[in-house]
Amino acid sequence: MQAVARLLYDLLLYGLAVTLYGGGGYLAWRFVGVHLPPVVNVAVSAVLAVLGAIVAIGVLTLLLPRLKPGRHEFMKSSVFWSWVLRSLLRRALLLGPMKPLIFTSNVLRFLALRALGAKVAFDADCSSDVDILDPALFRAGRKSILGARTLISGHYVDAGKLVLGEIAVGEGTLLAVDVLVAPDVVIGDRCRILGRAGIGPGCRIADRVVLGAETTLEGGNHVLTGVSVPPGIFVRKRVATIDEAVAASLTDTEQRSARGVAGATGDDEDEVAGSRALP
């Protein structure tokens, strides 16, 4: 039965992609570019095909039930089936070479993400290889940046149930290369989440926070405004302070050095003392 379902999913995926792009390209070529020179006709038809596919995906997305954060039964919940169909639409629109093509263009990327249900500002930026697995659960503020190979997922599977959670990235916030963000995460304004950092489910990160490279926040952590977390630290849930997280991760010699860095203060907003509480 699973094999049949997988085969059906693949047929729907490729059939939808061919219909969106092939059908749209043919109609554009046939009715819009017929009086244009051949080379211009091909270029215009290709652009109109992409725009038509985005519009069609947007209409189909609007017809689906909204995704609701929480735990949902597999194969039984309307939210589950909406999630499956939205995943199908996202994969069809961004299939193969279409994703880097669309994500390279500021306008096409903005239109595609909005069509898929994301609430993103027009001047939010991201690399062409960013993966936003659940756009309908994602929002990004003005001048935010998603770096290369950042992965943002609004779902995971636990004990046979689909768990969904919204993800918000604030204004002017940077997510650098290879950052992983789990469901139900809020990141404030003007934060810097540096390379290969990981943020677990349910985390809340206030404004002007810096997470050092290869830092990991276990699910459920809250980071207060202006905290700077040293690189390479694993912050467990309910750790009282950054210093305690450092102490749990480093040797004695490294602890003294890290505390000197974490406790430093200055005029730069991003250099606020790292020993502030994580409730």
Q: Is residue 56 part of a domain?
A: no
Nearest to 48 by CA among 61, 62, 34, 60: 34
The tens-digit pLDDT sequence of the chain (279 residues) is 678 888 998 999 999 999 989 888 777 777 775 666 777 777 788 888 899 999 999 999 999 999 999 999 988 889 999 999 999 999 999 999 999 999 999 999 999 999 999 999 999 999 999 999 999 999 999 999 999 999 999 999 998 899 999 999 999 999 999 999 999 999 999 999 999 999 999 999 999 999 999 999 999 999 999 999 999 999 887 655 666 666 666 544 454 444 433 333 333 333 333 433 343
- The pLDDT assigned to 80 comes to 95
Q: Is residue 86 part of a domain?
A: no
Count CA atoms within 13 Å of residue 171 on its CB side.
Answer: 1
- The pLDDT assigned to 242 comes to 61
State how far the Cα of 204 lies from the Cα of 221, in Å rounded to an integer.
Answer: 6
Count CA atoms within 13 Å of residue 142 on its CB side.
Answer: 0
Q: Is residue 88 part of a domain?
A: no
Domain that holds residue 214: 118-271
Q: Is residue 248 part of a domain?
A: yes
The enclosing domain of 126 has a CATH number of 2.160.10.10
Q: Is residue 19 part of a domain?
A: no
Q: Is residue 8 part of a domain?
A: no
Q: Cβ distance 195 to 211 under 8 Å? A: no
State how far the Cα of 163 lies from the Cα of 184, in Å rounded to an integer.
Answer: 10
Scored b (16 or more CB within 10 A) or e, 138-164 reads: bbbbebbbbbebbbbbbbeeeeeebbb
Give the contacts of 174 (CB within 8 A, at least 6 positions apart). Answer: 144, 145, 147, 191, 192, 193
The count of domains in the chain is 1
Look at the block and give the residue holding tokens 């001048």.
Answer: 143
Range list of H helices, the chain:
2-17, 24-31, 38-63, 78-93, 98-104, 106-115, 242-249, 252-262
Instruction: Give the CA distances from residue 65 to residues 118, 131, 155, 161, 271, in Å, rounded to whole numbers and listed in that order.
Output: 15, 23, 16, 18, 44
Q: What is the pTM of this model?
A: 0.82
Nearest to 190 by CA among 212, 205, 179: 205
Q: Is residue 139 part of a domain?
A: yes
Q: Is residue 51 part of a domain?
A: no
- The pLDDT assigned to 275 comes to 35
